[in-house]
Amino acid sequence: MNSNKTVLISGGAGYIGSHTAVELINAGYDVVIIDNLSNSDRNAVDGVRDIVGRDIPFEVVDTCDRAALRAVFDRYAFDSVIHFAAFKAVGESVAEPLKYYQNNLVSFMNIVELMKETGRPNVLFSSSATVYGEAEVLPVTEQTPRQPATSPYGNTKQIAEDILRDCCGAYSGLNGIALRYFNPIGAHPSALIGELPRGVPNNLVPFITQTAAGIRPMLSIFGNDYDTPDGTCLRDYIDVVDLAKAHVAAVNRMVGARMESSYEIFNIGTGRPVSVLELITTFEKVNDLKLPYQYTARRAGDVPAVWADTTRANEVLGWKAERSLDDTLRAAWAWEKHIRNIK
């Protein structure tokens, strides 16, 4: 393996990690996947192998386990790491903050510290639009001030961004990119990998697909009295394959030594706001089915609207979201049907 062309993916059996592994391989990289399988399934790695048609090194490792992580760093040659491994349930983070700070921050510090210790240059971090909170001006650019986090989950994203910024500033040779994802949805067009939430989904699209599959009797729209065109919240839904390709563009930038400063941030979204209601009706239209839904109270902590200004990613990263919402919602349903054995 050529270290310059090899990427370590922590959380590579997860939703975004598995799609990113596929796109990196399609772009000519080798990948090494590690995952502790706490909220993912090893079948996802097999799905990646099936899509790309070759074997991929995979090890069950917890990134909080420094010794085990060190062994991975010693065993493989790679210049870049993409760190996906993290807990991501907002409500759970409010109930169990220590679990979130412990897991999400210790794992990230282990990664950054080992990169420094072993002289490896490139760290790509999964951040989130959650860092913007309820922004005063929309769409948000990377210069839009971050708002105080409203959950420990969101706080771990802000703190990890700061850790990366400070370390890239202090340790010469260390480069960092934080990608601020908006709302990732959809699945690979092959339907071999996709999102696999455990228990009752928190996020909208898995709830929609599970409702369509008959697993959930009723979909709730959390609030229709927001100050938005149809009263439901506005979000920027980004196709997971497009999102995966943004990681390839960011790795290319780091590997190609094209960064303007040692730490950079990019918004990764479509730039188009879509309401909850529009998402639901589009899902119904493109998949030719009807969803049972009702309006319920607003969900605590939801912001009325957030969407990305993607100019910087378009111009500097040379990346743009390409897949249509129709295609994305068809892929989401194809994946749900695949895992539920629905014809």
209 binds ligand UD1 (CB under 6 A): no
User: Residue 204 CB, nearest distance to ligand UD1 (Å)?
Assistant: 4
Q: Which of 40, 80, 103, 130 is in the footprint of ligand UD1 by CB under 6 A?
A: 130
Q: How many CA atoms lie within 13 A of 242 on its CB side?
A: 29
135 binds ligand UD1 (CB under 6 A): no
Tokens of 174: 């260390």
- Which residues between 84 and 103 bind ligand UD1 (CB under 6 A)? 88, 90
Q: Which of 15, 29, 132, 153 is catalytic?
A: 153
- Tell me, rounded to whole angstroms, the distance of Cα 270 from its chain centroid: 14
Q: Which residue's CB is nearer to ligand UD1, number 19 or number 88?
A: 88
CA separation (Å) from 4 to 78, 250, 251? 6, 14, 10
295 binds ligand UD1 (CB under 6 A): no
269 binds ligand UD1 (CB under 6 A): no
Tokens of 232: 């439901």
Q: Which of 124, 135, 265, 276 is in the footprint of ligand UD1 by CB under 6 A?
A: 276
Q: Segment near ligand UD1 (CB under 6 A), from 59-67, 136-144, 214-222, 243-251?
A: 214-222
281 binds ligand UD1 (CB under 6 A): no
- Which residues between 25 and 84 bind ligand UD1 (CB under 6 A)? none
Task: Tell me if residue 100 is catalytic.
Answer: no
User: Residue 202 CB, nearest distance to ligand UD1 (Å)?
Assistant: 5
Q: Which residue's CB is nearer to ligand UD1, number 294 or number 341?
A: 294
**Separation CA 247–CA 266 (nearest Å):** 10
Q: Which residue's CB is nearer to ligand UD1, number 40 or number 183?
A: 183
CB atoms within 10 A of CB 28: 9
User: Residue 302 CB, nearest distance to ligand UD1 (Å)?
Assistant: 4
| Residue pair 107/63 in contact by the 8 Å Cβ criterion | yes
196 binds ligand UD1 (CB under 6 A): no
Query: Order of strands across the sheet with 122-128?
Result: 58-60, 30-35, 6-10, 80-83, 122-128, 175-181, 263-268
**Separation CA 29–CA 1 (nearest Å):** 9
Q: Which residue's CB is nearer to ligand UD1, number 153 or number 319?
A: 153
Q: Which of 59, 284, 302, 327 is in the footprint of ligand UD1 by CB under 6 A?
A: 302
Instruction: Please give the residue whose beta carbon sits closest to ligand UD1 in the complex.
Output: 233
Torsion of CA 217, 219, 220, 224, to 10 degrees: -140
108 binds ligand UD1 (CB under 6 A): no
Q: Which of 64, 187, 233, 274 is in the footprint of ligand UD1 by CB under 6 A?
A: 233
CA separation (Å) from 265 to 35, 176, 181? 25, 9, 11
Judge if the upstream peptide bond of residue 201 is cis by omega within 30 degrees of 0: no
Judge if the upstream peptide bond of residue 139 is cis by omega within 30 degrees of 0: yes
**Separation CA 153–CA 136 (nearest Å):** 22
308 binds ligand UD1 (CB under 6 A): no
Q: Which residue's CB is nearer to ligand UD1, number 107 or number 183?
A: 183
Count, in order, helices (H) and strands (E) of the chain.
Answer: 12, 13
> By the criterion CB under 6 A, which residues form the site for ligand UD1?
88, 90, 128, 130, 154, 183, 202-204, 207, 220-222, 233, 235, 276, 299, 301-302
Residues labelled catalytic? 153
